[in-house]
């Protein structure tokens, strides 16, 4: 039985209630976790608030050293963490190892950032006066994480929040409570003092809501659905908290007639069916130039049918299950909608074989004859379903790729540098790849999207530090007299 971590102690939910997490590949129980309520969030925030003054005063390089140690410990436990992840959310081992590596990279980046953390030094408009900026911590951060990157995404949030001097309350998804528990254990071992990190497990509607509404939380960072994100923005925004949202995607890969088709096939297979299509960055639309459409589609279907599907713990597997029974049903509903709207080329069913029957597997599914306004071309499905749209030339391809309310990731395959640069300039997305799939962002670069994908913040790299800090501008006047900006000559 797993617990919450509040004020330096492992504790049950005050109500004593628990929920059970199961392995989506086997249907077996992984363990029970606290089904927490508002009162548990209150305790966690109180503890984080009390720990803030001391933690925020610790010199940055000292906090950086703790993050480096955390990175070292994750490295030491990389295989163990990857196996925990695969069991709790189903991704194949090769991918969960990458997920843990992304968390490690984030920790080491923070270690470097600790000795930079630059402000600006700016000339004043007046003589004998200087202007500087500092980045200051905000206070208590409320972090609400999804299940699809159980190591990387909590670390994208926790590590910069902590390095910046904030204390925190983490609420992982109910579908990925185990990895977070292990991450918190490693953070404690790294030397994070009592009260600085707090873990509260439980349902989003209760725990996430309590975090978003808590008066002592200064910044809320959330990754997940548009519906939940806009609810958080509503309640936390009303209380004037900073809110950073990373929401859905309906990412497209364009393949032009001059593209290297083999390369583009590898890209779309990885982008659409990696993580069983359950990434915000997953390729869910494939936009094919009419000249190569038929040939490319035939090649793609052939390769998709050969993907090895099964328990992610078996090394040779290429695609694991989807996260849950209900998610599989939601995917299947979209497939039924797709069958009405377009042509099903392959997949379209629950995947079964002797080993997979008690898990939640779904076949890699491809629709052709899709147009940009159909529901399967507009709505985020979060599963292994790809909508193929035929276009004529670059202008139409760009029009189609921009035709959704989302704008996270995007990709174009072409050998023509002019076409590539046109696309880079005109695509409405936070991330664009040229001759690479829509997935695979690196943690030292800004990550996030435009339009309904978010609210203007960028995780990753140096930009995430703007989410977790406030700028303080300082003017130092050493003239010894009153100088009036805008008035004195
Ligand atoms: C997500 O799906 O929310 O770029 C994150 C990628 C990963 C991160 C995805 N590095 O696909």
Counting ligand 1 atoms within 8 A of each CB, the residue from 98, 103, 104, 149 with the most, and so the one to mutate, is: 149
Specify if 207 maps to a domain: yes
* Domain membership flag for residue 61: yes
Distance from the alpha carbon of residue 440 to the mean position of ligand 1, in angstroms: 6
Confidence of residue 356 (pLDDT cuts 50, 70, 90): confident
Distance 326 CA to ligand 1 centre (A): 22
The model's pLDDT over 423-475, given as tens digits with 9 standing for 90+, comes to 999 999 999 999 999 999 999 999 999 999 999 999 999 999 999 999 999 99
Where in the sequence is the domain holding 167, given as residue range(s)? 4-247+454-474
Q: Which atom of ligand 1 is nearest to the CA of 246?
A: 3
CATH number of domain containing 334? 3.40.309.10
Ligand 1 centroid to 229 CA: how many Å?
A: 17
Q: Are residues 296 and 429 in the same domain?
A: yes
* Claim to verify: residue 242 and residue 264 sit in the same structural domain: no
pLDDT, average across residues 227-241: 97
pLDDT, position 196: 99
Q: What band does 236 get if pLDDT is binned at 50, 70 and 90?
A: very high
Please state the atom number of ligand 1 nearest to the C-alpha of residue 98: 10
Residue 447 CA to ligand 1 center (angstroms) comes to 9
Q: How far is the CA of 281 from the centre of ligand 1 (A)?
A: 6
Which of 246, 345, 363, 459 is catalytic? The answer is: 246
Question: Is there a single domain that holds both residue 272 and residue 226?
Answer: no
CATH number at residue 103: 3.40.605.10
**Same structural domain, 72 and 106:** yes
Residues 365 and 406 in one domain: yes
Given pLDDT bands bounded at 50, 70 and 90, which one contains residue 489?
confident
% of residues, the chain, pLDDT over 70: 100
Mean pLDDT of the chain: 98
Cβ(116)–Cβ(109) below 8 Å: no
| 355 pLDDT tier (thresholds 50, 70, 90) | confident
Annotated catalytic residue within 155, 280, 356, 443: 280
Please give the model's pTM, rounded to 2 decimal places. 0.98
CA 346 – CA 364 distance, rounded (Å): 7
Q: What angle do CA 160, 161, 165 make, to 5 degrees?
A: 105
Counting from 1 in the atom list of ligand 1, the atom nearest the Cα of 439 is: 11
Ligand 1 atom at minimal distance to the Cα of residue 442: 10
Ligand 1: distance of its center to the CA of 280 in Å?
6
Residue 365, pLDDT above cutoff 90: yes
419 plus 279 within the same structural domain: yes
Q: Does residue 18 form part of some domain?
A: yes
Q: Is 280 a catalytic residue?
A: yes
For the residues 81-108, what does the mean pLDDT come to? Answer: 98
| pLDDT computed for residue 217 by the predictor | 98
Q: Are residues 287 and 323 in the same domain?
A: yes
pLDDT at 354 over 80: no
- Give the position of tokens 């004529």: 392
Nearest ligand 1 atom to alpha carbon 409: 4
Amino acid 353: pLDDT: 86
Q: Token digits for 421?
A: 């640069």
Give the pLDDT confidence of 124-138 residue by residue, as tens digits: 999 999 999 999 999
**Does residue 301 fall inside a structural domain?**
yes
Same domain, yes or no: 68 and 110: yes
Domain-located, residue 316:
yes
Same domain for 316 and 334, yes or no, is yes
Pocket of ligand 1 (CB under 6 A): 102, 148-149, 223, 279-281, 439-441
In this structure, the dihedral spanned by the alpha carbons of residues 264, 267, 269 and 273, taken in order and rounded to 10 degrees, is -150
At 284-335, the pLDDT tens digits run 999 999 999 999 999 999 999 999 999 999 999 999 999 999 999 999 999 9
* Domain-embedded: residue 488: no
How open is the CA angle 64-69-72, to the nearest 5 degrees? 130
Residue 357's pLDDT is what?
85
In a domain, 442, yes or no: no
Nearest CA to ligand 1 atom 3: 280
Q: Are residues 164 and 55 in the same domain?
A: yes
CA of 127 to the centre of ligand 1 (A): 49
Mutation test residue for ligand 1: of 151, 280, 381, the one with most atoms within 8 Å of CB: 280
87: closest CA among 153, 182, 194? Answer: 182
Number of domains in the chain: 2
Q: Judge whether residue 31 has pLDDT over 90.
A: yes
Mean pLDDT calculated for residue range 328-345: 98
Site to probe by mutation for ligand 1, drawn from 109, 441, 454, 457 as the one with most ligand atoms within 8 Å of Cβ, is 441
- Tell me whether residue 356 is one of the annotated catalytic residues: no
Q: For a ligand 1 pocket test, name from 154, 267, 429, 439 the mutation site with the most ligand atoms within 8 angstroms of its C-beta.
A: 439
Q: Which atom of ligand 1 is nearest to the CA of 223?
A: 3
**449 in a domain, yes or no?**
no
Q: Assess whether 188 and 263 both reside in one domain.
A: no
Average of per-residue pLDDT across 172-195: 98
Q: Does 397 share its domain with 324? A: yes
**Distance in Å, CA 101 to ligand 1 centroid:** 13
For 52-75, the pLDDT digits (tens) are: 999 999 999 999 999 999 999 999
Q: What is the mean pLDDT of residues 161-170?
A: 99
């Amino acid at each position: 039985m797993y617990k919450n971590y509040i004020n330096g102690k492992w504790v049950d939910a005050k109500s004593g209630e628990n929920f059970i997490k199961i392995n989506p590949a086997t249907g077996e129980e992984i363990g029970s976790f606290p089904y927490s309520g508002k009162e548990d969030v209150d305790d966690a925030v109180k503890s984080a608030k009390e720990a803030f003054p001391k933690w925020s005063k610790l010199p940055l390089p000292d906090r950086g050293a703790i993050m480096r140690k955390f990175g070292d410990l994750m490295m030491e436990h990389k295989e163990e963490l990857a196996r925990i992840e695969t069991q709790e959310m189903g991704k194949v081992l090769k991918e969960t190892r990458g997920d843990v590596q992304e968390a490690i990279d984030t920790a080491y980046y923070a270690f470097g950032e600790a000795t930079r953390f630059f402000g600006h030094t700016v000339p004043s408009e007046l003589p004998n006066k200087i202007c500087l900026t500092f980045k200051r911590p905000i206070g208590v951060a409320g972090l609400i994480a999804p299940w699809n990157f159980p190591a990387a995404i909590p670390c994208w949030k926790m590590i910069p929040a902590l390095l910046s001097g904030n204390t925190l309350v983490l609420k992982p998804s109910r579908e990925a409570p185990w990895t977070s528990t292990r991450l918190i254990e490693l953070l404690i071992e790294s030397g994070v003092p009592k009260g600085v990190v707090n873990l509260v497990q439980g349902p989003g509607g209760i725990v996430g809501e309590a975090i978003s509404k808590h008066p002592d939380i200064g910044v809320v960072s959330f990754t997940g659905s548009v519906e939940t994100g806009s609810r958080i923005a509503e309640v936390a925004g009303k209380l004037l908290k900073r809110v950073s949202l990373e929401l859905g995607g309906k990412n497209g890969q364009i393949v032009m007639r001059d593209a290297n088709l083999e390369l583009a096939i590898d890209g779309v297979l990885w982008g659409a069916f990696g993580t069983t299509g359950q990434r915000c960055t997953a390729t869910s639309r494939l936009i094919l130039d009419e000249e190569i459409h038929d040939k490319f589609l035939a090649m793609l279907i052939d390769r998709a049918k050969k993907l090895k599907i099964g328990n992610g713990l078996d090394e040779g597997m290429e695609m694991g299950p989807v996260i849950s029974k209900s998610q599989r049903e939601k995917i299947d509903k979209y497939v039924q909608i797709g069958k009405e709207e377009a042509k099903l080329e392959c997949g379209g069913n629950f995947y079964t074989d002797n080993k997979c029957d008690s898990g939640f597997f779904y076949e890699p599914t491809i629709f052709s004859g899709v147009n940009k306004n159909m529901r399967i071309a507009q709505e985020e499905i979060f599963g292994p379903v790809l909508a193929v749209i035929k276009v004529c030339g670059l202008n139409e391809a760009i029009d189609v790729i921009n035709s959704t309310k989302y704008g996270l990731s995007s990709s174009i395959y072409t050998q023509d540098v002019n076409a590539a640069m046109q696309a880079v300039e005109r695509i409405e997305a936070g991330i664009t790849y040229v001759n690479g799939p829509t997935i695979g962002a690196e943690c030292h670069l800004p990550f996030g999207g435009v339009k309904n994908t978010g609210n203007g913040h960028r995780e990753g790299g140096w930009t995430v530090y703007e989410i977790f800090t406030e700028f303080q501008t300082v003017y130092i006047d050493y003239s010894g007299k009153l100088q009036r900006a805008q008035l004195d000559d």
